[in-house]
Amino acid sequence: MKRLLVLYIIFIPIFLYAQLASYPLDERYFYVMQRVAASDTVMSTLWNPIIGQWDNSYPVRWPLKEGVIRYLVGQNNFDYQDNDYSVHLNLLGNLSSGKVNGDSTQYYRNTRGFEIFGTLGQKVFYYTKYLENQAVFVPYIREYIDSMVVVPGEGWWKRFGTNGKDYGYAMGYVVYRPIKHISLEIGHGKNFIGQGYRSLILSDNSFIYPYLKVRYRHGRFVFVNMWTEMYQFHTVYYFYHYPKHASFTTFSYLNPHWEASFVIATMWKTSDYQSYVNHFPISFFFPPIAPVIYGLDGENNSFIGVNACVRFSPMLVYGQLVVDKLDLRKSLLNTSNRYAYQIGMRSYDVLQNRFKNLHLGILTEYNLIRPYTYASQFTYQGFYHYNQPLAHPWGAGLRESIFQLRLLVYNVELRYNYSRLAGGSPISGQSNIFTTSLTEKEIKIGRGNSVLIKHNSLIISLLLNNSTGLRFFYGFDIRDFKTTTNIRTFYKFVGLSTALGRFYYDF
């Protein structure tokens, strides 16, 4: 298992009776979820990327007839398909630029890449993507990058010019379903567990990682187990990368109106940090028993959780509960009790298709994470990878409120995002999940070395290609960061970009 996955391919689980396919975690994913939420299909939406027949089109298309222009705005850049296999190719990119009020620096991102996907027969689907980037980030993001030695969600970088960062990576997957009820997954990429904007169990916040996933479905019961290989290093990238392994196990029951899941996650100590020798306990191959053997705060660090969602058409109400450590003899404010919960509501189309070319989506969400949740008293055994948390970008010790609105009229989209986060410092305060100093004490979220962060962003975009997500956009983001003083960042930007992935800069 040590070199579990040096391939840039992933076997994605799927139990459909049509051709295999999966949807990448990017802008196209939102509209796929819109169709799923509006349907009566008994489909699990716990693990993402979503699984389904390949249809990466948006719900609103250009009002054009067949022809060259229709091809340019509605198709992949290259398509080939016959009875035995198919190949599709798209060029990817992001060319955007902006300025911060009172700052003469030109901030920009220049991304080039491609994606290739297709099928081999009826049982295999493959996807691969490569991105190369040069960017000059706004000050608060650049400070985070310099401190953590990684670009959020995109890994290590090297210096480019005076203030720029140069970074790139490749990911991909292959889907295989040998029989109706069982599927396998292996590769390099990201996963997301839940139906919200954030996930308190496993999000796509951190860098890509190799993983192996097994999925079994019988009727309305679904079992999924994923093993991953994670890495952690000191403040210098060229130091030794300590490998560790994680497992995420879910047991789900679903019907057309609701889905409930029980989750077990374990960060396995598979490296000897003195001699750099990897070892795997037998229980690693039977991960659901880890909390029983080692508890929730042992050397093999575990947490348990629940994820649930209920559909009230056209709304979806969802929530998560994570228990990292629990001692009912102590106050809930004591650091001996480390837990997190989420409650949210979203609608992918409030108007329920009453207007042919008008769609309105909303989301409201509340997250609470107790201080030092996901941390461990044992070195590198917290739930983080490549110097970033696996769940919330800020770590722990926070209260957060989120509101999002999306209005789509023909091919013009208006997006408004608001978030308010109150918590501690992610480096030296109660939000720090990298610490091993977990002494018992009573602590309230936001007390001591506290911060308050507000984001208001508005983006208007014109969709140019349905399949690649190519769009021209203009917008602004206002960030208020308050400690003892208030620092406001007003960033205005414009650009042209395809769908690339989900990256979280709202911290």
Q: What is the pLDDT of residue 36?
A: 61
Q: What is the pLDDT of residue 18?
A: 42
In angstroms, rounded to a whole number, what is the distance separating the alpha carbons of residues 411 and 399? 35
pLDDT tens-place string over residues 449-475 = 789 999 999 999 998 887 888 999 999
Q: What is the pLDDT of residue 235?
A: 63
Place of tokens 């769009």: 471
Q: What is the pLDDT of residue 93?
A: 95
Question: Cα dihedral sign for 167, 394, 240, 248?
Answer: negative
Asked if 161 and 397 count as a contact pair (C-beta separation under 8 A), the reply is no
pLDDT tens-place string over residues 376-430 = 988 888 999 999 999 999 999 999 999 999 998 988 999 999 999 998 877 667 7
In angstroms, rounded to a whole number, what is the distance separating the alpha carbons of residues 205 and 502? 8
Amino acid, res. 274: Q
Q: What is the pLDDT of residue 327?
A: 79
Give the contacts of 277 (CB within 8 A, at least 6 positions apart). Answer: 271
In angstroms, rounded to a whole number, what is the distance separating the alpha carbons of residues 260 and 4? 30
In angstroms, rounded to a whole number, what is the distance separating the alpha carbons of residues 271 and 436? 17
Sites in the chain below the pLDDT cut of 50: 1-18, 53-66
DSSP secondary structure string for all residues of 59-116: SS--S--SSHHHHHHHS-SEEEE-SSEEEEEEEEEEEEEEEETT----EEEEEEEEEE
Helix residue spans in 249-325 (DSSP H): 290-294
Other CB atoms within 10 Å distance of the CB of residue 125: 26
Give the contacts of 459 (CB within 8 A, at least 6 positions apart). Answer: 414, 415, 473, 474, 475
Domains in the chain, CATH or no CATH each: 27-497 (2.40.160.130)
Q: What is the pLDDT of residue 489?
A: 95
Q: What is the pLDDT of residue 272?
A: 72
Asked if 366 and 343 count as a contact pair (C-beta separation under 8 A), the reply is yes
Q: What is the pLDDT of residue 1?
A: 40
Q: What is the pLDDT of residue 273?
A: 66
